[in-house]
Amino acid sequence: MMDLLMLACMFGLSLSIVAALYRMFHRESTVADRVLLLDSLSFIIIGIVAILSIWMDTTAFFESIVLIAILAFASTIALSRFVERGVVIVRDRERR
- pLDDT the model gives residue 93: 63
- pLDDT the model gives residue 94: 52
- pLDDT the model gives residue 10: 92
Q: Three-class SS string for the chain?
A: CHHHHHHHHHHHHHHHHHHHHHHHHHCCCCHHHHHHHHHHHHHHHHHHHHHHHHHHCCCCCHHHHHHHHHHHHHHHHHHHHHHHHCCCCCCCCCCC
Q: Which CATH number fits domain 2-85: 1.10.3470, 1.10.287, 3.80.10, 1.20.140?
A: 1.10.287
- pLDDT the model gives residue 16: 94
pLDDT average per 10 residues of sequence, the chain (96 residues):
89 93 82 85 93 90 92 88 78 61
